[in-house]
Copies of this chain bind each other. A is one copy, B any other.
Amino acid sequence: MVEDNQNIQFQLTDALIEQVELLIEQKDDIALKLLLEEFHYADIAEILDEVNLEEAMYVIKLLDSETTSDVLMELDEDNREKVLKNLSAKEIAEEIEELDTDDAADIIAELPEARQAEVISQIEDQEHKAEIQELLAYDEDTAGGLMAKELVKVYETWTVAGCLRRIRGQAQHVSRVHSIYVVDKQEKLLGRLSLKDLLTAKSEQKIAELSNSNVDYVYVEEDAEEVAKIMQKYDLEAIPVVDQNKTLLGRITIDDIVDVIREEADKDYQMAAGISQDVEADDSILKLTKARLPWLLIGMFGGLGAASIIEGFNGSMGEFIILLSFVPLIQATAGNVGVQSSAIVVQGLANNSIDGNIIKRLFKEAILGLVNGVAIALVAIVVTHFVFKTPYLISITIAIALIAVIIMAALIGTFIPIFLDKRGIDPAVATGPFITTSNDVFGILLYFLIAKSILGF
């Protein structure tokens, strides 16, 4: 219905991939270029993620480096690594020349150390090279690791007319102008301007008059997650980065922050699911096993711990077997409550929406556990007594144990993340298998202790 000169409706179909593969096989460079030129670089990257390495290399060598540098940035990390291995240092340097400094530094940082120096030495643009080397020195999880050197800055002494003239020059190298930063002769950040301010000002006005001194900034060593929080909270699309003397070093844009937010959310989700490193469904079985086996082993030792607790109580009469058959109920309930409690706390800590008073919070969790526990216990008592025909003392034991276990699981699930957070450990590790395993063990212990005191075996 509409002419589709934009490719927002891009669909990665098998037919398209086959078409690309066929054109590569036929070495029909003209048709291949014509086809791929229509696509956004992010779409080309999706296609290259699907074909084999040889085919991907063919396309990368075919297209101009302006396009392929962007495609490289969008490739799946594993595939990018393979492609880079197949490019010479000279070829990588050519791609690097086309990229903004932050992306360039990210690509170089992914290379083995020996190759890094080799690639850097091949970069022809000396200024670009120096800037990339500066960025490589910063930790990737800091503001310095996120920032780009590309920005538009003006000196306070300039006039609007002079400023517009010079910005035309600087802006060529900057893909998106967010803010214009105002600095003094020592490059110290003084304020900001928007293009809009410049457009609506008189041409003879001095920049110092227009400059908005209320400029947000972050220090270069600030933690990346903290930068993400600040930019979200204050709805910033770009933020300047300064050193301790307030010298303007670079700027961070919101698209980099979107990646930080996504990665952070993915990491927390995986930790909650007991996956100990960043993996994807398409990773190798070895990589997936490495990420999954550690928590399975910990869970297994929890299960063995529970077994030794049960053997320790060492009953053999009929009642004991009935009690044993309800172990899964106790265990499932303790696990679910623990994960729920810890997830809420972990999320609250991540959003800074949890205030300090740990006693108050534990008290609230205890009440909450009591409410949930009584509800669950009532249902359980009815079902066990009327459906399972369980002896009434055992039904009561189960009901009391459920309430106790739920309260215990809620307290553990709340306490551990807060405790870890105070110790400076990421509380997200405390959700999932960690909480489940400790609750399994403590829950079963509590269950048999309560049973022993009621039934007296």
Q: Hey, which chain B residues are within 8 Å of A270, CB to CB?
A: 343-344, 347
Chain A interface mostly:
helix
Partner of A324, one of B299, B325, B372: B325
Give residues 341-399 of A contacting B (CB, 8 Å): 342-345, 347-348, 351, 353-355, 361, 364, 367-368, 371-372, 375-376, 379-380, 383-384, 387-388
Q: Hey, which chain B residues are within 8 Å of A272, CB to CB?
A: 269, 272-273, 343
A296–B372 CB distance below 8 A: yes
Q: Does A327 contact B (CB under 8 A)?
A: yes
B274–A336 CB distance below 8 A: yes
Partner of A266, one of B326, B347, B361: B347
Interface residue ranges, A against B (CB under 8 Å): 1-2, 5-8, 40, 42, 50, 76, 164, 167-168, 171-172, 176-177, 194-196, 199-200, 213-218, 230, 232-235, 237, 244, 246, 254-255, 257-258, 261-262, 265-266, 268-270, 272-275, 279-282, 285, 288-289, 292-293, 295-297, 299-300, 302-304, 306-308, 310-311, 316, 318, 320-322, 324-333, 335-337, 339-340, 342-345, 347-348, 351, 353-355, 361, 364, 367-368, 371-372, 375-376, 379-380, 383-384, 387-388, 406, 431-433, 436-437, 440, 444
Subset of 28 A-B contacts with CB under 8 Å: A2-B244, A5-B213, A6-B214, A8-B217, A172-B200, A195-B199, A235-B255, A237-B255, A262-B265, A265-B269, A269-B269, A269-B347, A273-B344, A274-B340, A275-B344, A280-B351, A281-B345, A285-B364, A288-B368, A289-B372, A292-B340, A300-B329, A303-B331, A304-B380, A304-B384, A306-B332, A307-B325, A320-B321
